[in-house]
Structures are given as C-alpha cells and as structure tokens.
Structure 1
Amino acid sequence: MFAAERRQLILEMVRANGAVSLRELARVVQTSEVTVRRDVRALEAEGLLDRRHGGAVLPGGFTRESGFPQKSHLASAEKTAIADLAAGLVGEGEAVVVGAGTTTQELARRLARVPGLTVVTNSLLVAQALAHANRVEVVMTGGTLRGSNYALVGSGAEQSLQGLRVSRAFISGTGLTAERGLSTSNMLSASVDRALVQAAAEVVVLADHTKLGSDTMFQTVPTDLITRLVTDEPPPHEERAAAELQALADQGVQISVAGSHQPPAEAPPPPGAAGGRSGAVRRDMPLPGQRRTVHGAPPPGGPQLRGTTGPGALGEQLGERGRVADLRRR
C-alpha cells in the first residue's frame, strides 16, 4: 500500500471512530506502528487529525465518543489485563457500583466469581455479564436507554442512586489527565457517572494508556476524587503517557499497572512526606526511568471517611451491605 493510500485509510478510520490507537491502525493498514506514527505526524501537520498518546483523534483538542462496536476492538488486550487486576480489589460480600464501558464490562465478567457480591450498575452489558452468576446480586438503575453504549442515563438513573452507599465505584471514560481528571464526550453519561461516584467511598478509574492525556468535553471525576487508577504499562516510546501517570501519582492517585507479575508493595511514608490521599500509592511496576517507590498515608488535609446512611431507591434495596463510608473532604 502506498503512503497516500495508508494515510487516507487512517484518516477515514479516525473520522469514523473519533479516536483510534496506533496498534489498531497498524493492524488495519498492515504495517508497523513506526510507519503509522510517521503517517499520523504527517496528517497532523496538515491539520487533518491530532496525535494523542498511543493514537490519533479528530482535530480540535477534544475527542468524540466512539460507538460500542468500535470501542470494543480498541486496546482489547490491555482492557483484559486491567480487568484482571481490578477484580482483585473486590472482596466477598462487598457492594460496589460499576459504570458503563467496554473495560467495565470485562471487569464484570470477572466479578461473576466473587460470592456474596452486590453490583449496582446502569450498564446493560455489565448486568448481562453477571446475569447468571451464582450468589451475585445485580441492581440496575432506572433511566433512559442510550443505545450507543447500552447504558441507562437521565434523571431516572440519577434519582435512583440517591442515598446509595457502597465501598467502591469502578468507572471508565474517554480521556484522563492529571489536570482535569476523568472525562467523557456525552453530557448524559457524565452526569450519571458523577452520581455513581458520589455513592462510593473509593473511586477506581479503569483506563488503558491510550486514554492518558486525552481530554473530552464533560468532566466526570476530578483528579482529587480519584482513589486509584488501574491501567496498563505504556509502550517505551510513550514518554508523555508515562509522564501523565507520574503527574497523577504526584497528586495522590494510587497507580496500579497491569502486566506486572510482582506483588504490589506497600510501606510507611518516608519522613517528611506530604500531599496525596490516604492509603499507599500502589504501583505494580515502576514508571519508566524511575525506581519503584511507594508512599504511605499523608498528614491531615485530604478527604476523610465518614460513616453515613440515607434513604434512596437503591440504598433501601441494598440494606445493610450498602451502608458503608461516604467520601467527604475536610
């Protein structure tokens, strides 16, 4: 295939999907990622697309949301590894909320093996993955079906989450930056995700490395409310993605990197350590160019956990298992 043909095909894929990873582009045009990266640079110089960490997006600085069929094929191996790692955070008998997305769908398939689990979700795909799981209770929000990602959105979904208290929220999105946090391209989806986050004591973001550094229209979770990021290891050439991970860790986000076979380490904070939020920063592998480090509990100043309960459609369904801590800032 000639360079002009490759670049035309790359441009068509980006226009159709909004955002495409370099790996997927290389697979479709049947060439190396190095060649695709060169083509993407040339198209960016012409103003036809924008480069992002590990991929290309529509020009203008904000990616638009791809449909489920396109997203399900992007970074599929990375999403599987992320889901494997995130599932280890959930214990028997917990109550959690799981948002919509292809990565959270992978997580749901693994949560089917956790006995006594209660999962609250607005995603039909998450509910379907858990429908036949033994000893797993699935509670769905109300709302209006959004067909592009098979999620329930709108005021019905948000109202059904009022008063809900669970241990963790597992959320995905379209972009993630240290400056702005997690974001998505759809206003209705963003609003429901914010309601899911408000119901949880801890917020776990699932995002592969291609989303690091991307920014989209609607913020869902600001960085200071993200407890943990579960992601995959950026390729060696993606220095900007590694820098974004470091910036997130510097703001107190616990980083778990899928792909490492070493057990995560946790240790007390070094003398004089400051900043961050409660809990050790966990890295399953060090960031490129750095030694493996861990940080412990910071001095007072971050959010604190305060036990709360309250009435609400889903909170009443969950009963005692839904009555756990609520994340509140001092």
Structure 2
Amino acid sequence: MVRANGAVSLRELARVVQTSEVTVRRDVRALEAEGLLDRRHGGAVLPGGFTRESGFPQKSLSATAEKTAIADLAAGLVDEGEAIVVGAGTTTQELARRLARVPGLTVVTNSLLVAQALAHANRVEVVMTGGTLRGSNYALVGSGAEQSLQGLRVSRAFLSGSGLTAERGLSTSNMLSASVDRALVQAAAEVVVLADHTKLGADTMFQTVPTDVITRLVTDEPPAHDERASTELQALADQGVQITVAGVPVSPSAAAQAPASSAESEKVRPQRREMPLPGQRRTRGGAGPGPARLGPAGGLEPGTAPGPGGSMERVARMADLRRR
C-alpha cells in the first residue's frame, strides 16, 4: 500500500487488513527497521519521504475519513456573501464540494479541482488565477498565478500543505506551490489551515505560512498513541492558534472491537471541539487570554474550557456568536 500510494495512515491500514492499530503499528516498526518505509506520525511513507511529494491520486487515498470530517467543520466557518481564497489540495477539494451550498459566495482559487467542484454551483462565483498548470496536483503556479493575486483582499484563506509544526508553521515539498500559497495568504485577513493528524509534526522543505500568521487550524483527533501529534497541537495552541478538532466516525472494525455503548455514542457525539479559548486570536496580530491546555491524547485537560464543567458545546456556541 505504501509503494502504491506513497503514504498511508495507520488507521487506514488497520481498516484494510481488519486488525487493530496496535498490531499495524508494531508491523510498521518492523518494516522501518528493514529500511522498507519510514514512520510518520500516525502513518508511513516511502523512505526519503521528507522531500518526496506524493501525486494527487496517492494523496486522495490517504486519511479520507479525516479529510471529510475536517472539510465538514471548515465549511461551517464560511458565511453567506463572503469572499475567500481556497488553495490546492485534496482536503481543500473536499471543502469546495461543501461550499457549493453557500449562497453569494466568491471563491478565488488556483486549483482546477476546487474550481471543478464549484463549477455547477449557481450561487457561487469562482475566480481562477492565471499561471502555469502543475499536473501533479492540478494547480496553477508561477509568476502568472502570483501576479493575479496582487491587490486582492478577502476575508479568509483556506490552505492545506504537506506538513505542519509549531516551529515553522505550514510547509510543502514544492517551491512553486509554496510561493503561490504565500501569495494567497497575503490576500486574506485570516488564515485557516486544514491538516489531518498525519501532517502534525511533519516538516517539509518550503515554508508557506509561519505559525504566527495562522489564525485557526482545523484538524482531527490524533490517536491516543500519537504523542508527537498531540504535543504539536499543544505547541500550536500555546502560540495562539485556534484549534478546531473534528470527530471522525468509528470504522466498522474499530466499532466491532469497542463496547456497543462506546460505538453508539461516537455516532451521536458533537463533531466539534474548540481550543484554545474563544477570542484568543481572530485576526493576524491579535491578542487575548492564554490558550487552553491539551491533555496527553490531544483533548482539553479538565477545567481548562470555560463554562460549567468545561463544556465544549459552550465553547463552540461562543465562537459562533462572536463570528456573527
């Protein structure tokens, strides 16, 4: 699977081979010891994956459930009549499919896949950048794309990438893509990064968005064993990034191993958690109260969320009210 796709998550491997992530993680360690692959924070890649960029077919098969959940939450951040920019990527493509239902929206993008997802949305205006087509990810890059973004101003930019760390922020493996992403960021008042847990702690060649420019991260819950992803989330929260965590539905194999009550509760659990505290930072350069603390599995530590009992629902309501 790694040879075919370039990268694969432990969750996906466990689903395909119908075993637990614990077993898969042990086998991945053994394969890494033989030099057949490299482990990467909740997944595995081909050796030398630090500089290697997977093509679109490979990326589209990685962490599909996580990307879907992230796109669902990110779409809820967009209001009617907004003007936004959306970068290239498989997660942003999923977001675009959901934006087709937002009336009066204007979307500026360099991604052919994002534009295609919105092509038949009657109430959404799509503005394409110029540039040279980069076939590996169906994106327009180069000076033409960057020049077409000069003088543009929108409310938000939604971007993805190859890796995200608290030290360097969002990064990608391709220089041309990084340059266009930086131009997209310059056009936006707020920057929202969409990154699943496999990208947390991964560091690739070209920085696109420094951490202090990222307004919000929309991600999924890291597995309990993935300490590096959880640590990275805490570090990002400490630097003022608002973090929205999407719940991912339990796979059939995982549900079969879990108690019935646990599996059922997962299906109805609100699929949104906010950290750090609302109002900490909404736009670049803003300041506010200190961040909430993340627990060892990536969740908030007891008592750090505001409201009775540290309710995540109240955090989400406050964020929504403030956004309105």
| Pairwise same-fold verdict (TM > 0.5) | yes
Q: Tell me, yes or no, if the aligned pair for 2:279 and 2:288 is still in contact at 8 Å.
A: no
Alignment partner of 1:293: what SS?
coil
Instruction: Name the counterpart of 2:117.
Output: 129
Instruction: Name the counterpart of 1:215.
Output: 203
Alignment partner of 2:145: what SS?
helix
Question: In structure 2, what residue type is equivalent to 1:165?
Answer: R
1:229 pairs with 205, 210, 217, which one?
Answer: 217
Output one character per residue of 1:115-174: Cα deviation in whole Å (capped at 9) or x when no partner: 111000000111011111122110000011111111111111011001111000000001
Q: Tell me, yes or no, if the aligned pair for 2:244 and 2:272 is still in contact at 8 Å.
A: no
Question: In structure 1, what residue type is equivalent to 2:270?
Answer: H
Alignment partner of 2:158: what SS?
strand
1:183 pairs with 145, 164, 171, which one?
Answer: 171
Shift of 1:281: 8.3
Alignment partner of 1:56: what SS?
strand
Q: Distance in 2 between matches of 1:292 and 1:80?
A: 30
Q: In 2 relative to 1, CA 38–96 (structure 1 residues): closer, same or farther, beyond 3 Å?
A: same
2:270 pairs with 261, 280, 287, which one?
Answer: 261
Q: In 2 relative to 1, CA 97–267 (structure 1 residues): closer, same or farther, beyond 3 Å?
A: closer
Q: In 2 relative to 1, CA 73–279 (structure 1 residues): closer, same or farther, beyond 3 Å?
A: farther
Q: Distance in 1 between matches of 2:5 and 2:271?
A: 36
Output one character per residue of 1:234-271: Cα deviation in whole Å (capped at 9) or x when no partner: 112212211110010001110000126177675577xx
Alignment partner of 1:231: what SS?
strand
Q: Distance in 1 between matches of 2:149 and 2:135?
A: 21
Q: How much identity, in percent, do the aligned residues show?
A: 86
Instruction: Name the counterpart of 2:255.
Output: none
Q: Tell me, yes or no, if the aligned pair for 2:70 and 2:196 is still in contact at 8 Å.
A: yes
Q: Distance in 2 between matches of 1:277 and 1:19?
A: 37
Q: Distance in 1 between matches of 2:157 and 2:183?
A: 10
2:28 pairs with 30, 40, 51, which one?
Answer: 40
Q: Tell me, yes or no, if the aligned pair for 1:97 and 1:119 is still in contact at 8 Å.
A: yes
Question: In structure 1, what residue type is equivalent to 2:301?
Answer: Q
Q: Distance in 2 between matches of 1:267 and 1:222?
A: 21
2:90 pairs with 71, 89, 102, which one?
Answer: 102
1:202 pairs with 190, 204, 211, which one?
Answer: 190
Output one character per residue of 1:174-202: Cα deviation in whole Å (capped at 9) or x when no partner: 11111111111111111111110111010
Shift of 1:33: 2.3
Instruction: Name the counterpart of 2:78.
Output: 90
Instruction: Name the counterpart of 2:14.
Output: 26
2:47 pairs with 59, 62, 87, which one?
Answer: 59
Q: Distance in 1 between matches of 2:300 and 2:97?
A: 35
Q: More deviation in 14-23 or 120-129?
A: 14-23
Aligned residues: 276
Question: In structure 2, what residue type is equivalent to 1:119?
Answer: V
**Structure 2 residues not aligned, in runs of 5+:** 248-268, 307-324
Q: Distance in 2 between matches of 1:86 and 1:160?
A: 25
Q: Tell me, yes or no, if the aligned pair for 2:42 and 2:198 is still in contact at 8 Å.
A: yes
1:148 pairs with 136, 153, 159, which one?
Answer: 136
2:302 pairs with 291, 301, 315, which one?
Answer: 291
Q: Distance in 1 between matches of 2:4 and 2:233?
A: 29
**Structure 1 residues not aligned, in runs of 5+:** 1-12, 270-275, 296-330
Q: In 2 relative to 1, CA 63–47 (structure 1 residues): closer, same or farther, beyond 3 Å?
A: same
Q: More deviation in 226-235 or 34-43?
A: 34-43
Alignment partner of 1:90: what SS?
coil
Instruction: Name the counterpart of 2:100.
Output: 112
Q: More deviation in 250-259 or 58-67?
A: 58-67
Q: Distance in 2 between matches of 1:282 and 1:130?
A: 36
Q: Distance in 2 between matches of 1:183 and 1:212?
A: 11
Q: Tell me, yes or no, if the aligned pair for 1:144 and 1:152 is still in contact at 8 Å.
A: yes
Q: In 2 relative to 1, CA 169–15 (structure 1 residues): closer, same or farther, beyond 3 Å?
A: same
Q: Tell me, yes or no, if the aligned pair for 1:205 and 1:226 is still in contact at 8 Å.
A: yes
Instruction: Name the counterpart of 1:79.
Output: 67
Q: Distance in 1 between matches of 2:205 and 2:23?
A: 31
Q: Tell me, yes or no, if the aligned pair for 1:252 and 1:277 is still in contact at 8 Å.
A: no
Alignment partner of 1:119: what SS?
strand
Question: In structure 2, what residue type is equivalent to 1:290?
Answer: E
